[in-house]
Amino acid sequence: MEKKDTLYLTINYQGKDTDVEIEDQTNSIQEIINKLVVALDLSRTDGAGNPASYHLGRLTDDFDEILPPFINGKEQTLLDYNIKDGDKLSLTMIPIAGGGGIEIPNRINDEQLWRNITRFHFIQSMIALVIGFVIVILGIYVLLVGTTGNSDWKFSILDFESNITNAGPGIILCIIGLLVIWASRINVKVKK
């Protein structure tokens, strides 16, 4: 018996069933997902504007079995999952973690990848800058309130040494805040 290439399936997306024709069941799962997203006119972002991806699953009576597009680095097809005419599959939108997480492309010279890396580095630096600033302000407040006490600080890493004796807690907080600010600076180098 000869296998036919065309499959007639039911795709369930957000509770709505749609009958589809898969012309070539040897296409990869990822190709089929991409074609379904286009054919069903689905968005590549969630309701909040965050990027999203889609997963294909097999609906059974008990649960929804996700069909991974890759297993051990090998692209999977509908044939690999023994999908037959009349089977019911689900298509599920999955927001990318972090509301803008990075999906690594096949090539490293992808402009969008570098934009995202730079953007996340900037966000991380800004958060650390705010935290460092708050620590410095807290140190200044402790100094102005007149909290007394003295602390000794001895720190060394590789060839760098720091030694502070008889410093008040406000001074220590200011130094820690300044170190956090210094460590969080944005450092982008472009090689020509």
Q: Is 109 left (phi over 0), alpha (psi -120 to 50) or beta?
A: alpha
**Nearest-angstrom CA–CA distance, 8 and 80:** 17
Predicted model pTM = 0.48
Give 89-110 pLDDT, tens digit per residue.
888 887 765 544 445 555 556 6
Residue 45 amino acid letter: T
How crowded is the C-beta side of 76, counted as CA atoms within 13 Å?
Answer: 17
Span(s) in the chain for CATH 3.10.20.90: 7-100
**Nearest-angstrom CA–CA distance, 149 and 167:** 8
Task: Give the count of beta carbons closer than 10 Å to the beta carbon of residue 191.
Answer: 3
Asked if pLDDT for residue 82 goes beyond 50, the answer is yes
Query: What pLDDT is attached to residue 62?
Result: 65
Q: Which CATH class is domain 7-100?
A: alpha beta
Query: What pLDDT is attached to residue 10?
Result: 86
Residue 33 amino acid letter: I
Residue 69 amino acid letter: P
Residue 103 amino acid letter: E
Asked if pLDDT for residue 145 goes beyond 50, the answer is yes
Give 19-33 pLDDT, tens digit per residue.
888 888 888 888 888
Residue of 14, 34, 10 lying closest to 83 (CA atoms): 10
**Nearest-angstrom CA–CA distance, 14 and 124:** 35
Which residues face 156 on adjacent strands? 161
